Structure 1
Amino acid sequence: MTATRADALWNRKLVLRAAAQLFAAEGLEVPLGRIAQRAGVGAGTVYRHFPSKAILVEAVFAQHLDDLVSAADRWTARSTPGDALFGFLFEVIEKCAQGKHLCDALVADRSWPHATFAAAARRFGEALDRLLHKAKHAGAVDANLRVDDLNALIAGGATLHSAHPSPDRGTRLVWQLLDSVRRIGVTKDSRLRDDERPESCAECGSPLRVKNTGRPARYCSPACRQRARRRRLVS
């Protein structure tokens, strides 16, 4: 790859990143001049890559979905099927809550999807379907669960997460929402055995880092452990 080509690709990446940040923070009315300024490039560079605002918005949406497809692959590689599906769903919900303007615009604009976004949306749907299929095969979710059910769950979870005044409690509620479709085995002993390691923090609901040895962790951080201890002392 020539240096000129590499510079062009880098500039395009800078513009997409700047546009995504500004759209998420301020909405889609941000002028291209401000996007160029945030990216550290000239306005001409923006127009060379994205001849119109609509093309830039579509490219940001498509990049957002492609990043999520990559996240789905990472979850598949590092987790069990059930953990991969629910960890991915939480990541999607969290990012949608952070980029509410993007998600709202996507739902509200009936002219979408265009060709570029349609291809990215198809890749996202296929990645979600793969995770769901593996989770069903592992018995982690109900066999009747469908991808459109998960899309509705994502939309509802993002609204719940962004609407709650407490980020920690919003996170916990999202995990409770996701747990509503999780198939959990029932055991006679309610105490946690070594082979029944919890998947989420007992205080805030965040995913726990899996350890193969030692006592299973119940909290994701010392802060959550301390909050739980204070709650027990008060109750």
Structure 2
Amino acid sequence: MATVIGAGDRSDARRNRAKVLSAAGEAFAERGLDVPLGDIARRAGVGAGTVYRHFPTKHSLVEAVFAQQLGELVASGERRMSRSAPTEAFFGFVLDVIDTSRSRTTICDVMSADASWPRPVLTATVARLHQLLTVLLDAAQRAGGVRPDVGPDDIVALTVGCAAMMTARHDRAAGLRLVRLTLDGLRPSGPVTEARHFRDVRGSAPGPACEECGAVLTVHPTGRPARYCGTTCRQRAHRRRPAP
């Protein structure tokens, strides 16, 4: 005779699955991905058999945790997009991702990852996250709130770096200040990455430096002091000179 599964049984199963996912997420954040499934079961308050019933392998549990966490970020971004102006929605979403990744560093691995996570559910969730990020970025750029020379992959790399920066600072306020300074570079206030203007390369070099690229120059005992490291930099500097 077939066993009839009632609504109460299904509710219990859903609750147990949610408990396992929550416990696993906390355990992974605290101890990394090598936490034994038995420890996760004890943290969730369920038996090991319950964990294996929902997640037959450790890999499937890890992927389910990641998919849930990324899905929560997608939902947060969609809410921001519907309630806020484009630029505010974009920066708010990026800060959400950074703040979430700060204590869940493995999210960063998934966001920038690839073939190591081939399961359809997780792949689909990562694709939704990237799609949402692209939509938010495009809208913010059209609104004039984000410089036009950055793309979604740049933003992903930036969030990974900012999350690491937040993790490195024990003072959350200090870490957040550095993150905001970094994100300010995305605003269209003019380029800050041109080598000639980004830093005083001549002042920081241990000896004479190329006026174009900042490379340290070889000092010769005779002849006129060199201004450039080679023909390429000399020609580039000459092209930049205003016409007489």
Indicate the TM-score class for this superposition, using the shorter chain for normalisation: 0.7 to 0.9
**CA deviation map 1:198-221 (0-9, x unaligned):** xxxxxxxxxxxxxxxxxxxxxxxx
How far did 1:54 drift? Answer: 0.6
The answer to whether the Cα contact below 8 Å between 1:32 and 1:43 also exists between their aligned partners in 2 is yes
- 1:15 aligned onto 2:20: yes
How far did 1:101 drift? Answer: 4.3
The answer to whether the Cα contact below 8 Å between 1:161 and 1:174 also exists between their aligned partners in 2 is yes
The answer to whether the Cα contact below 8 Å between 1:141 and 1:183 also exists between their aligned partners in 2 is yes
Whole-Å Cα distance in 2 between the matches of residues 72 and 183 of structure 1? 22
Query: Runs of 5+ in structure 1 lacking a partner?
Result: 186-235
CA 1:72–1:152: 2 relative to 1, 3 Å: same
**Pick aligned residue for 2:91 from 83, 86, 90:** 86
How far did 1:165 drift? Answer: 3.5
The answer to whether the Cα contact below 8 Å between 1:140 and 1:184 also exists between their aligned partners in 2 is no
The answer to whether the Cα contact below 8 Å between 1:59 and 1:117 also exists between their aligned partners in 2 is yes
Whole-Å Cα distance in 1 between the matches of residues 181 and 87 of structure 2? 15
Match of 1:208 in 2: none
3-state SS, counterpart of residue 47 of structure 1: helix
**Pick aligned residue for 2:134 from 129, 132, 138:** 129
Match of 1:156 in 2: 161
Identify which of structures 1 and 2 has the higher relative contact order when contacts are C-alpha pairs closer than 8 Å and 6+ apart: 1
TM-score (norm 2): 0.70
Structure index of larger Rg: 2
Query: Runs of 5+ in structure 2 lacking a partner?
Result: 1-5, 191-244
Match of 1:31 in 2: 36
- Residue identity over aligned pairs, in percent, reads 46
**CA deviation map 1:54-94 (0-9, x unaligned):** 11011111111101001101211222110110011011011
**Pick aligned residue for 2:65 from 60, 66, 69:** 60
The answer to whether the Cα contact below 8 Å between 1:15 and 1:36 also exists between their aligned partners in 2 is yes
**Pick aligned residue for 1:43 from 26, 31, 48:** 48
Whole-Å Cα distance in 1 between the matches of residues 188 and 113 of structure 2? 33
Whole-Å Cα distance in 1 between the matches of residues 101 and 141 of structure 2? 25
Alignment of 1:1-235 (within 5 A): 2-104=7-109, 111-183=116-188
How far did 1:160 drift? Answer: 1.1
3-state SS, counterpart of residue 172 of structure 1: helix
The answer to whether the Cα contact below 8 Å between 2:111 and 2:126 also exists between their aligned partners in 1 is no
**CA deviation map 1:30-71 (0-9, x unaligned):** 111111111111111111110000110111111111010011
The answer to whether the Cα contact below 8 Å between 2:90 and 2:136 also exists between their aligned partners in 1 is yes
Whole-Å Cα distance in 1 between the matches of residues 97 and 110 of structure 2? 16
The answer to whether the Cα contact below 8 Å between 2:63 and 2:122 also exists between their aligned partners in 1 is yes
Task: Name the amino acid aligned to 2:159.
Answer: I
3-state SS, counterpart of residue 33 of structure 2: coil
Whole-Å Cα distance in 2 between the matches of residues 138 and 3 of structure 1? 50
3-state SS, counterpart of residue 45 of structure 1: helix
3-state SS, counterpart of residue 182 of structure 1: coil
The answer to whether the Cα contact below 8 Å between 1:15 and 1:39 also exists between their aligned partners in 2 is yes
Deviates more, 1:160-169 or 1:50-59: 160-169
Matched length: 185
TM-score (norm 1): 0.73
